[in-house]
Structure 1
Amino acid sequence: MQRQASLHHIIGTYRLVFAGVAGLVLVSGVIALLGYFTDPRAIEMVVVRVLVGASLLLLLRWGYVRLKQELNSAGAEQRQLLDLAYRDALTGAHTRSYFFSALSESLRADDRPVAYMQIDMDNLKVLNDSHGHAAGDAALVHLVKTLKALLPDALVGRLGGDEFGIVLVGQDSKPALVRLGDRVLATLGQPISIEGRPIRLSATIGVALWPQDAAEADELISKADLALYKGKKEGRASTVAFESELMADERHKRFVERDLRAAILLNELELHYQPIFAADATTPVSHEALVRWQHPVRGQVPPGDFIGIAEQSDLIDKLGDWVLRRACADRKRLGTPTVGINVSVVQLRRADFAERFSDILMESATSGSHLVIEITESLPLKTGTVELRNIEALRGLGVRVAIDDFGTGFASLEYLRGFPFDIIKIDRSYVANLPGSRIDGLIVSSIAKIARSLKVEVIAEGVETTEQLQFLQRAGVTALQGYLLARPEPLRSPRFASAA
């Protein structure tokens, strides 16, 4: 920038000098011509002065042209540098800072309505873990190309790893924007070749309008983000427009998060323990710890209402640590060799999870062999990920690993082949229709047979009828859990009094 300003200054000086020399040549010529009428030899002076002046003018002209060329070159170089500064190197979308600045400027400078769309790739981490980061990068590049092709007049910016923003000026119809977003998603859903493999991409889009939904850029972004979150929660791969009801949901979420934080600090939570029985349905072999929250004002808060909120913040770590400490403290009163606790995939993604787990075991003087961690089948498999490193570290402490809700999540057979596990827990959805469903019966029997071949335990969840129990016993499951046998109860219940 300074170099370009300097060149502009020099060119300005050249122009002044050029004009000055031209003026001097003209004046000298006029004076010499006037002198000719009194002295004929003065014509020689005219010729000499004109030649010298012309030479100077040609020299100045050459220097001016060279400087102009250099200035143009510097301008092109500067434009290239600015483009690099304002463009994401991978995707070609605008950078976050430039995009937000341009969005704010659009709201200030234009009286027309402005639509803001926020798009987030679904399961990009799964793609990275399954096919490598090069595949994930290719997916992001394809997304931006799709956006530019379908929305040529839009401003597209990369906000984060897999999150992008879109600004459309002059758009004020939410139904039309939802249709436009769905068109983008349909195009993304068409198979493309990445790393030689056919892959279908998926994304979720949130939409908000200015000035209809927000007065400022920050508020506009926040409301599109709320709509995006709703789309993620409702199953992904959709376009959701902001509605005022979402603010009520957001306020509820904040209240729950605030109160849950206080409940953890004040020790207001409680664990209920549900026994897991041997195949004879009478001998308890373990217990599953289930967190319960009795709110002083709202009463019993279902786990489904606060676990997901905890996973969106650091509360899941605090909640998980509390559950582990409480289970370790209660274990001896349960009367079974082991106690199982549920561990979120979010917890496993923390680099220090295994270390904190080990520290709590040491604090409570509990051997890892008394613990089972239950992991829902939603964790993508890839050697070397922080999740698998944490699991392997816990197994090194003697902790056993159970795949919870088996058959409902991510690549069941892949789990059996590559996941370091000790126990399979068959999801209750396969048990609910037994013995009437032939397909569910075949699935349950097959899982039990595979588990025996792998020499791992298999537990059937959700046993609620005698007919289900008898079928599962014939199928060869090694353990049973469900309301037919026992409901979850707190440690203060009479069931545990004899073990105290």
Structure 2
Amino acid sequence: MRRDPTLKAIIDSYSTVALIAAAVIAALVIASLWALWGALGNAGPLMLPLTVLGGGAALLALLWLGYGRLRRRVAAALRANREAMDAVKRDALTGVFTRSHFLEAIGAEVYHGSERAVGYMQLDMDNLKLLNDSAGHAAGDAALVHLARAITRLMPGAIIGRLGGDEFGIAIIGHDNRAALRRLAEELLRQLDKPVAIGGRPVRLSASVGIALAPADAVDVVDLISKADLALYKGKKAGRRAVVAFDADMLGDERHRRFIERELRAALLMDELELHYQPVFSAASMTVTSHEALVRWRHKVRGMIPPAQFVGIAEESDLIDRLGEWVLRRACADLPALGSSSVAVNVSPAQLRHADYADRFAAVLLETDTDPCRIIVEITETVPLNAGGVAMANLEMLRAMGVRIAIDDFGAGHASLQYLRGFAFDIIKIDRTYVANLADSRIDAMIVSAICDIARSLPVEVIAEGIETQEQLTRLKLAGCTGLQGYLLGRPAPLPARERSQQQRASAA
């Protein structure tokens, strides 16, 4: 075992003192013997006691000096050890407590039977990854340091810990006022919203905060953090930059989310999902040109569960990749029996964030022997398409294979013009809200006509979705839409069982 160098130095120092003391004792013995011999030889009767007293005094002085030196060395070693232990407890970047020490510190305050209240805040910085990608990791680190300092200035007596990359825990001992904690967190968000120089440019930071109290909400550390995390999750889902306090109703929401996630995992494993196909018609010939594949989940107990209730939950876990692959694989298998030239599949932003998405997409097409030119990928305006970003790279690879890209719900988001200027695509699908208001809103009618004019100049196809009346159909044809989709023309429906079984036999052969 390797010896601690500080301890070795102390032991060496003590050994030196011990050797000197032994030498003094040896000299004292020799002097005593010499004095005794002198006394026997009539050299003087006082020689012996003077020699003993002098040697004893020298020995005491030596021991005192050695003790003082040893005490100073031990005290210095203890200080160095405390500093080293404190450094281990602190996050190297931000200076706040590490996760393990933070949990240990609040664990001493939050336990069953504790009489002290603790106000706890779980904080997650918004869009740190985006800052890292756009300005570099040094800028992201500077943002985290600024956040930690802002928390320390605003809450000097709090226990602060870094729980993860951009996640912090804040515990205020003796605080049980939920409204006051909310105001404190809101003030922190206001402080973060003030521009700060990061990476040579002014940056406004934001965060989401979840609040829970002990013992009002929880009587142990794990439960307290879990409930604050539930509140934090609700705030982030509502649009970030929010302060949300835990309430009991969130437990029901969490149980529902976990139920859906567990049951969806089983449904994917047992192949219990369905695809329904809605036709898209050519405006010129009114014949079916393609179908849109829409996933459906017919639960054995709850009946039909709409996509809005499970796709979002899948996106928050690892299930979205498995769900997306299942949809693509089934659509490719059903394509020969659909009777149209192509099929469209919806792709989640969470899928496009994986660097290997296009490669896995290509592998499914190869495995199912599907022509990429017969596949349409539909994305929404919520997908961030930054130049050089992972999502953009995946879409460019898909287009290079021959897959067509459609912008779904065009006009519903905030990035419409940016999409038109900076991204190569093949199809625009006008959001159904414009179609619904076409007859009553002159502005919506003008927007639809403008989109069709832009599409003709690019040129790309324009599909209007959500058509429910004959008047809408007529107006959309006159506006210049090339494709039409909606309940008036055809509702989503599963592939007939007879055609699917024939397709499965053909694939097996």
Q: Same fold (TM over 0.5)?
A: yes
Residue 132 of structure 1 corresponds to: 136
Give 1:477 shift. 3.3
Deviations 1:246-289 (A, max 9, x none): 11111111221222122222222111111222334823222111
Give 1:39 shift. 8.2
Give 1:369 shift. 0.9
Aligned AA (1:182): E
**Whole-Å separation in 1 of the counterparts to 2:306 and 2:87:** 50
Structure 1: runs of 5 or more not aligned: none
Contact in 2 for aligned 1:380/1:410 (Cα 8 Å)? no
- Within the alignment, does 1:484 sit opposite 2:492 as a pair? no
**Equivalent residue pairs, number:** 493
Deviations 1:453-481 (A, max 9, x none): 33222323333344444444344333232
Aligned AA (2:428): I
Residue 214 of structure 1 corresponds to: 218
**Whole-Å separation in 1 of the counterparts to 2:130 and 2:464:** 28
Given the alignment, which residue of 103, 114, 122 partners 2:106?
Answer: 103
> RMSD of the alignment, in Å?
3.9
Aligned AA (2:318): D
- Within the alignment, does 1:419 sit opposite 2:428 as a pair? no
**Whole-Å separation in 2 of the counterparts to 1:452 and 1:126:** 34
Residue 377 of structure 1 corresponds to: 381
Given the alignment, which residue of 272, 275, 288 partners 1:271?
Answer: 275
> Matches of residues 159-238 of structure 1 in structure 2 within 5 Å?
159-238=163-242
Give 1:301 shift. 0.7
Given the alignment, which residue of 348, 353, 356 partners 1:349?
Answer: 353
**Whole-Å separation in 2 of the counterparts to 1:421 and 1:12:** 80
Cα gap change, 1:440 to 1:362, in 2 (>3 Å): same
Contact in 2 for aligned 1:18/1:57 (Cα 8 Å)? no
**Whole-Å separation in 2 of the counterparts to 1:17 and 1:447:** 96
Cα gap change, 1:279 to 1:247, in 2 (>3 Å): same
Given the alignment, which residue of 148, 154, 160 partners 1:150?
Answer: 154
Residue 89 of structure 2 corresponds to: 86
Contact in 1 for aligned 2:182/2:243 (Cα 8 Å)? yes
Residue 301 of structure 1 corresponds to: 305
Residue 116 of structure 1 corresponds to: 120
Contact in 1 for aligned 2:21/2:59 (Cα 8 Å)? no
Aligned AA (1:142): H
Residue 372 of structure 2 corresponds to: 368
Query: After the TM superposition, which of the residue ranges 284-293 and 104-113 deviates more from structure 2?
Result: 104-113
Give 1:172 shift. 1.5
Give 1:11 shift. 7.0
Structure 2: runs of 5 or more not aligned: none
Cα gap change, 1:127 to 1:484, in 2 (>3 Å): farther
Given the alignment, which residue of 225, 239, 243 partners 1:239?
Answer: 243
Deviations 1:1-57 (A, max 9, x none): 94445566667778989999999999999xx9xx99x98795899599759955994
Contact in 1 for aligned 2:337/2:499 (Cα 8 Å)? no
Aligned AA (1:400): R
**Whole-Å separation in 1 of the counterparts to 2:295 and 2:237:** 22
Aligned AA (1:352): D
Give 1:327 shift. 0.6
Residue 450 of structure 1 corresponds to: 454
With normalisation by structure 2, the TM-score equals 0.83
Deviations 1:368-397 (A, max 9, x none): 111111112222233443333332332232
With normalisation by structure 1, the TM-score equals 0.85
**Whole-Å separation in 2 of the counterparts to 1:72 and 1:382:** 57
**Whole-Å separation in 2 of the counterparts to 1:287 and 1:336:** 7
**Whole-Å separation in 2 of the counterparts to 1:194 and 1:445:** 44
Contact in 1 for aligned 2:464/2:485 (Cα 8 Å)? yes
Give 1:365 shift. 1.2
**Whole-Å separation in 1 of the counterparts to 2:287 and 2:101:** 65
Cα gap change, 1:11 to 1:430, in 2 (>3 Å): farther
